[in-house]
Structure 1
Amino acid sequence: MSKVGALDLASGLGGTIDKTQVLSAVEKYEKYHVFYGGEEEERKANYNDMVNKYYDLVTSFYEFGWGESFHFAPRWKGESFQESIKRSQHFLALQLALKPGQKVLDIGCGIGGPLREIARFSSTSITGLNNNEYQITRGKIMLKDFVALQELNHVAEVDNTCNFVKADFMKMPFPDNGFDAVYAIQATCHAPDAYGCYKEIYRVLKPGQCFAAFEWCITDSFDPQNQEHQKIKAEIEIGDGLPDIRSTRQCLEALKQADFAADSPLPWYLPLDPSHFSLSSFHSSAIGRFFTRNLVKALEFVGLAPKGSQKVQDFLEKAAEGLVAGGKKEIFTPIYFFLARKPHSENDL
C-alpha cells in the first residue's frame, strides 16, 4: 500500500496546478460554494472545473490520511478501518458476480486503490475512468520522498489487466455495450445530473449486466427548512467537491431499479469522529488533525508547500465536521448502495 509522508504531502499539494497559483485556485474553488455566495446551478454548470480543482488540491491530503482508497465503508465491531475498506470492495465484486477475464469499468477511480483490490480479488480486467490528470498520474506512479518508484499497478501485479483512461463520465469515450460490469464507489456524486450520468453508464454496459454503486445521499430525515441541516449539507459540498447532494429518492428515480446493503453496527463516519481514537485513524482524530494542520502550516511557512495549502486543510476539516454531524443526525449517508441491471432487451423493461 502506498503511504505518503510529509515531504510527499508538500510536493503534491496543488496537483497539476502551478504552485504559485494554488492560493488563487483555492479561492476560485471556494467561490463555487454556499459559504462564499456560490449557487447550485453555477456548480452544476461548471462541475468539470470545480471537481478538477478540488482533486488537484486535496489528493495529497487524501493519500496522507487514507492511503490508496478514498472512500467510506460499513464497518463491523472488531474490524479495522482498512479491513472494512477491502471488505466493501469485495462486497461490490460479489454483488456484481464478477468472473475471471471479464471487462469491468470503474467510474471515478481515484488513484486506483479499489481498482487494484477488486482486480486481484476477482481476476478481472478493469479500466479506471477519471477526469483528473493528477490522480491518474498518482495512480500510475508511487512516490517516496520525491523519488518515483514502480507503477502501483505493477506492484499489485495487475499492470497487464488494468489501465486508466482520462475522460468525463458524462460523455465516455467507449462504444456501446462494451463492459461486463460497471461500478462506482462514492464518485458519481460529482455528476451534475444523476440521470445523465446513469444513462451514459447504461449505454456502455452490456445487456443483461449490472451497475453497482455506493452513492452519497441525503436521507428522508433531511429537512430543507432546517438551517442546521442546510449548514451540514453546505459543509459536505464544499469539503468534498459536490455540485449538490441528491436524495436517496432521486437516485431511485434515476435508476428505476435498486438493491440495498445492510446497515453496519459501527457508523461509517467513525474514522472522522474526533472523539474516537485508534492508531489506524490517527490522522482523523482530534490529535491527528491538530498535527496535520500544524504540519501543513509549517510546510507552507517554510515554502515547501504552496500558499493556500492551509486553506485546503481548512475546508477539508469543515467537510469532516459536516460528515460526522450529518451521520449522527442520520440526514446523510455516503454508502447508499444499489445494484441495477441493464435489461437484455426492451421487452424486459
Structure 2
Amino acid sequence: MNRESYLRIASSQKTRTENYAEGVQEYYNLATPGYLGGWGTSFHLPPFHDGQTLAEALVAQERLLAQDGGFHAGMKILDVGCGIGGPAMEVAKHSGAHVTGVNITAMQIEIARVQAERRGMGDRCTFVEGDAMNLSFADNTFDATMSFDALCHVPDRRVAYAEIARVTKPGGVFIGFDWFCGEGLGAEEYDRLIEPVCRTFMLPSLISLSELREHLTAVGFQVDSARSGGEIGDMTPVWDIFDRAAENSLPPGMSDRETFAFEMLCESFVATSKAAREGAFLVGYWKSRLPM
C-alpha cells in the first residue's frame, strides 16, 4: 500500500471502519519494526510500580492478568490480537497454560512463530492468522480468553465480544487491557483529543469503560471489574516514554517507507500523551466471565 492510500484510509472514522482489516494490517506492517526496536516483543502499555523498567512493567502486567484470570496448567487460553506473541509466551510460561494467539496481520504471526521456537515455547503457544470479528474456532473451544491493547482496532466491539463469548466455554473468563476514551466526552473534545489518536494508530474509534460494560453484558458476560490502568499502577511513565520518543531525530539512511513510519509513530506518541494527560484517553482493565 502506498502512502497516499494509507493516509486516505486513516483520514476518518468512516474510512477506518470500512477498511479496517486492510488498514490495521498495513499499520502493523509499518509500525512493527519500530515497536520491536523501542518496546520489545509485547506491544501494550503497562501500569508501572516504583522503580520498574519498561520491560519489568510489561512482564508484571502480563503475570497480573494470568493471575487474575486464574490461568493454570491444563487450560486452553485464547489471546485475541496477539501481536508478535510476547504476552502469549509470558502468560504460557508463567501459568503453565497453553495459549493460542490470533492476529489479523500475517507478518506478525510469522514473527510470533519464530519467536516461540527460538524461546522453546513452540509446544506451549500456537499462533493463527485470523480476525477477531469472525473467529475461525468452534464454539466452546477455550477455557478463557485474554487480550492486550488490541480490540480497540475492531470497528464493532460488540461483534468481537460476541465472537469471544461464542468460542469461550461456559464459566470461562474474558479478561484484558485495552484503549478507551474518558467518560462523557463532548464531540469537540473527542475530535480534538481522541480523533488524532485514532487516526495515527489506525483505530476506527474508542469507547468508554461504561460502554465496555454495556457491550460485554449484552453478549452474555458478567462483568466483575472494569477500571482504569491508573488504578492499578502509574501510567505516567508511559506518556513520558512517548514524549521522549517523539523528540528523537530522524535516523540517517532511512527509506521513504521507513521515514513515513517514523514520522507516523512520533505523531501518534504526541497525540496519545496529550490526550492521556488531559484525561481524555486511558488504558483500561476488565475481568468478566460467562455464566455456567
TM-score (norm. length: structure 1) = 0.77
Deviation, 1:266, is 5.9
Indicate the residue corresponding to 2:7 in structure 1. 30
The 8 Å contact of residues 243 and 269 in structure 2, kept in 1 or not, is answered as no
Q: Tell me, yes or no, if the aligned pair for 1:75 and 1:264 is still in contact at 8 Å.
A: no
1:112 to 85, 88, 91: 85
Given that residues 246 and 269 in structure 2 are in contact (C-alpha distance below 8 angstroms), is that contact kept between their aligned partners in structure 1?
no
Q: Does 1:243 align with 2:197?
A: no
1:103 & 1:199 partners in 2: Cα distance? 19
Is the aligned partner of 1:270 residue 2:237? yes
For the Cα contact (< 8 Å) 1:181–1:210, is it kept in 2? yes
Deviations 1:73-128 (A, max 9, x none): 11112222211111110111011101102111000000000011000000111111
In the alignment, is residue 69 of structure 1 matched against residue 42 of structure 2?
Answer: yes
> What is the CA-CA distance between 1:222 and the residue it aligns to?
2.8
Structure 2 residue ranges without an equivalent (≥5): none
CA contact (8 A) 2:145 2:173 kept: yes
Q: Is structure 2 residue 187 aligned with structure 1 residue 233?
A: no
Which one of 270, 274, 280 corresponds to residue 321 of structure 1? 270
Percent identical: 28
Give the AA of the match of 1:191: V
TM alignment of 1:180-329, pairs within 5 A: 180-220=143-183, 222-226=185-189, 229-256=190-217, 257-258=222-223, 259-260=225-226, 263-264=230-231, 267-273=234-240, 284=242, 286=244, 289-291=246-248, 293-295=249-251, 298-300=252-254, 305=255, 307-329=256-278
**Counterpart Cα distance in 1 of 2:196 and 2:260:** 14
Supply the AA of the counterpart residue of 1:299: G
Contact 1:72–1:269 (CA under 8 A) maintained in structure 2: no
Paired residue type of 1:56: N
Aligned-partner Cα distance in 2 for 1:59–1:313:
11
Q: Which whole-Å CA distance do the structure 1 matches of 2:266 and 2:184 have between them?
A: 24
Q: 2: distance between equivalents of 1:189 and 1:46? A: 15
2:19, 2:126 → 1: CA distance? 27
Unpaired runs of at least 5, structure 1: 1-20, 142-151, 274-280, 345-349
Deviations along 1:215-264, one digit per CA (max 9) or x if unpaired, are 211011633223xx523212211221201111222211101233035635
Distance 2:138 2:201 in 1: 31
CA contact (8 A) 1:208 1:343 kept: yes
Q: Distance in 2 between matches of 1:183 and 1:46?
A: 25
Which letter maps to 1:28?
A: S
- SS of equivalent residue, structure 2 residue 155: coil
Q: What SS does the corresponding residue of 1:225 show, helix, strand or coil?
A: helix
Q: Residue 3 of structure 1 aligns with which residue?
A: none
Q: What's the Cα RMSD here?
A: 1.9
- Counterpart selection for 1:56 from 26, 29, 37: 29
SS in 1 for 2:188: coil
Partners of 1:41 and 1:342 in 2: CA distance: 32
User: How many equivalent pairs are there?
Assistant: 286
CA distance in 2, matches of 1:240, 1:285: 16
Distance 2:130 2:161 in 1: 15
Q: Equivalent residue for 1:42?
A: 15
Shift of residue 134, structure 1, vs aligned partner: 0.7
Counterpart of 1:102 in structure 2 is 75
SS at match of 2:43: coil
2:17 is matched by which residue type in structure 1? K
Q: Residue 164 of structure 1 aligns with which residue?
A: 127
Contact 1:77 1:266 in 2 (8 A): no
1:154 Cα deviation (Å)?
2.6
**Partner Cα distance (2:203, 2:97) in 1:** 30
State which structure, 1 or 2, has the greater radius of gyration over its C-alpha atoms. 1
Structure 1 residue 290 displacement after superposition: 4.7
Secondary structure at 1:299 match in 2: coil
Q: Secondary structure at the match of 1:308?
A: helix
Against the structure 1 CA distance between its residues 72 and 63, is the aligned structure 2 distance closer, same or farther, given a 3 Å change threshold? Answer: same
TM-score normalised by length of structure 2 = 0.92
Q: CA deviation at 1:28?
A: 1.4
Partner residue in 1 for 2:286: 338
Closer/same/farther in 2, CA of residues 205 and 73 from structure 1, 3 Å limit: same
Give the 3 Å change call, closer, same or farther, for CA 188–265 of structure 1 in structure 2.
closer
Tell me the distance in 2 between the aligned counterparts of 1:82 and 1:264: 20
**Within 1, Cα distance between the matches of 2:271 and 2:250?**
21
